[in-house]
Amino acid sequence: MKYLILGAKGQLGLEWTKYLQSHQIPYLATDRDELDITEQQAVEDCLNQFKPDVVLNCVAYTNVDGAETETDANERLNHTAPGLVAKLCEAHRITFVHYSTDYVFSGKITDKQVYPDGYPVDAPVSPVNQYGAAKLRGEQAVQAAGENHLIIRIAWLCSAYGKNFLKTMLRLGQEKPKLSIVNDQFGSPTFTFDVVDATAAILASGQRGVFHLTSEGMYTWFDFANAIFKASDITVKTEGVDSSAYPMVAKRPAFSKLDNSRFKAVAGGKTYQMEQGIRRVLDELNKQS
């Protein structure tokens, strides 16, 4: 099996590179400097030359607020490019793995009662911002290209790489005596190493289609932050506040927990825990320092 990584310098791309290296699996890691995935001929040439068995699309425009105004970049990277690459993969009989988001759902707080275990993979989609809308169109473009694909929806992505909530909390917890953290948005984090592990398990199962993947349980950002501070032995006062205390350009979902049942069914009941994920990121950060 040979893997082609698209977006190799992002959080997921770096995690995949580490995994494939450690397992001595052949791969080619590309980022926008090496391969523009919005250019059909460039992608076609890469597929013809490297001949991968699996293409991992770790590319995304992830600036949720920026997507409200930078509509061209949002559309190209989250919708057009995934559809283009998926079509080429289908023509070459290559499995295409595409990562999507909890933001394809409406996130109404009333859905917390309707879906106590989180949104199932077949729940109605209704994004509330431009980022979520483009990601949904990207999913639909991938599905229209054929059947040999995985669409894995993730949420609150964290790792030892790049910028993310966990690393921001570690920094702020050491800089400030008190933090006010949103306590009215519900979901669950996903860690890059869990995403890679789960993707490998799904690929091995032979199943295709849409999967959800997050840590087990349901939390607010306030809960998540306090778990980070506890695990890292950072002493800081925290208070929970409504999201209205931090006005954003783009609307955020109040509830975006994802139901992992389909993944657990194909992976022998495997689950991932938030506390373990936090500790592993902390260990990796310590090794980097």
Q: In the structure encoding, which two tokens stand for residue 193, read together? A: 């190493």
Q: Out of 19, 99, 103, 131, pick the active-site residue.
A: 131
The contacts of residue 52 (CB under 8 Å, 6+ apart) are: 2, 3, 4, 28, 94
Q: What is the 3-state secondary structure (H, E, C) of the chain?
A: CCEEEECCCCHHHHHHHHHHHHCCCCEEEECCCCCCCCCHHHHHHHHHHHCCCEEEECCCCCCCCHHHCCHHHHHHHHHHHHHHHHHHHHHCCCEEEEEEEHHHCCCCCCHHHHCCCCECCCCCCCCCCHHHHHHHHHHHHHHHHCCCEEEEEECCEECCCCCCHHHHHHHHHHHCCEEEEECCCEECCEEHHHHHHHHHHHHHHCCCEEEECCCCCCEEHHHHHHHHHHHHCCCCEEEEECHHHCCCCCCCCCECCECCHHHHHHCCCCCCCHHHHHHHHHHHHHHHC
Give the integer Cα–Cα distance in Å for 133 and 122.
Answer: 17
Of 33, 31, 57, 35, the C-alpha closest to 44 is 35
131 catalytically annotated: yes
| Maximal CA-CA distance, the chain | 56
β-strand partners of 8: none
Active centre residues (catalytic): 131
